[in-house]
């Protein structure tokens, strides 16, 4: 397996805030080149300036792209190949959610979520993976969620998209073993980022009912994720509370999980 202490080039999607920003900050000392991708170019440029100041030997480039658009994703992949900023570490972090009943959801938001959480992650991996295979080195981090192992009413599509991410990561990891490429599924529980505000509907400000003590700081999530990558782990649930919850969910029969989720207080 490759030496995870250093990568020639890392790409982080959703790098303008939250976990993506934190991944960029923590991975910067371990790369020669760093590619930051998100829609908000000004936020990316601000982050790039901070990283350049702290790590002047790291070449940082910014790509403003709407990952819901297939054309934007292809332009990004082509530009990376043409410029020589081909990642040997791909961090598929970009994602979005939607709190509330599926029947009353806005289809445009659901469609955007499917495109970002599933299509964009799969498309960028497909576009860039052949270059990793040719070099027989590299790693992929797919940011999934604790929700990927649990059906969640009022969060149904998000949980389903993350189930895809976790399953895809596990399967891809097996395929890529012979090419010395590691794949890690990061499955955090609740994290205080902009994600909750974007996922919450305007008419449902009380939708998120997670207890404060269950949150894990984004710094800890990224730190444990990179440590898991160094150890060539297949999956990580950052934070002891999240890890315990994952163990309990995995051990519970689906019938019990249905009863628990059906009796769970709902704020919709």
Q: How far is CA 155 from the centre of its chain?
A: 17
Catalytic choice (33, 63, 99, 162)? 162
Contacts of 136 (CB under 8 A, 6+ apart): 179, 180, 181
Question: Using CA atoms, how far apart are residues 169 and 234, in angstroms rounded to an integer?
Answer: 8
Is 158 known to be catalytic? yes
Phi, psi for residue 64 in degrees, rounded to 5: -85, 115
Q: Has 162 been annotated as catalytic?
A: yes
Assess contact for 62 and 38: CB atoms under 8 A: no
How far apart CA 38 and CA 12 sit, in angstroms, is: 9
Catalytic residue among 33, 63, 99, 158: 158
Range 69-94 burial, b when 16+ CB lie within 10 A, else e: eeebbeebbeebeeeebbbbbbbbbb
**Alpha carbons 177 and 140: distance in angstroms, whole number:** 12
**Which residue numbers are catalytic?**
158, 162
């Amino acid at each position: 397996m490759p030496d995870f202490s250093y990568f020639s080039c890392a790409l982080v999607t959703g790098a303008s805030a939250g976990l993506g920003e934190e991944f960029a900050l923590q991975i910067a000392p371990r790369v020669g080149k760093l590619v930051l991708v998100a829609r908000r170019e000004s936020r990316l440029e601000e982050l790039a300036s901070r990283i350049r100041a702290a790590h002047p030997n790291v070449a940082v480039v910014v790509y403003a792209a709407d990952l819901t658009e297939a054309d934007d994703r292809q332009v990004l992949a082509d530009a990376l190949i043409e410029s020589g900023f081909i990642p040997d570490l791909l961090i598929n972090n970009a994602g979005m959610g939607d709190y509330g009943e599926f029947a009353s959801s806005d289809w445009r938001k659901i469609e955007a979520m499917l495109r970002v959480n599933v299509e964009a992650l799969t498309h960028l991996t497909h576009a860039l993976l052949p270059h990793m295979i040719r070099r027989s080195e590299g790693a992929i981090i797919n940011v999934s969620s604790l929700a990927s192992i649990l059906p969640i009413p009022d969060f149904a599509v998000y949980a389903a998209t993350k189930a895809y991410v976790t399953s895809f990561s596990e399967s891809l990891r097996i395929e890529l073993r012979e090419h010395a490429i590691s794949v890690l599924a990061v499955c955090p529980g609740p994290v205080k980022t902009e994600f909750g505000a974007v996922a919450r509907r305007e008419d449902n400000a009380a939708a998120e009912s997670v207890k404060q003590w269950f949150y894990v700081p984004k710094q800890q999530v990224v730190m444990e994720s990179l440590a898991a990558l160094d150890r060539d782990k297949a999956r990580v649930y950052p934070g002891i509370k999240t890890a315990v919850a994952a163990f309990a969910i995995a051990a519970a029969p689906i019938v019990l999980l249905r009863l628990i989720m059906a009796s769970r207080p709902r704020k919709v």
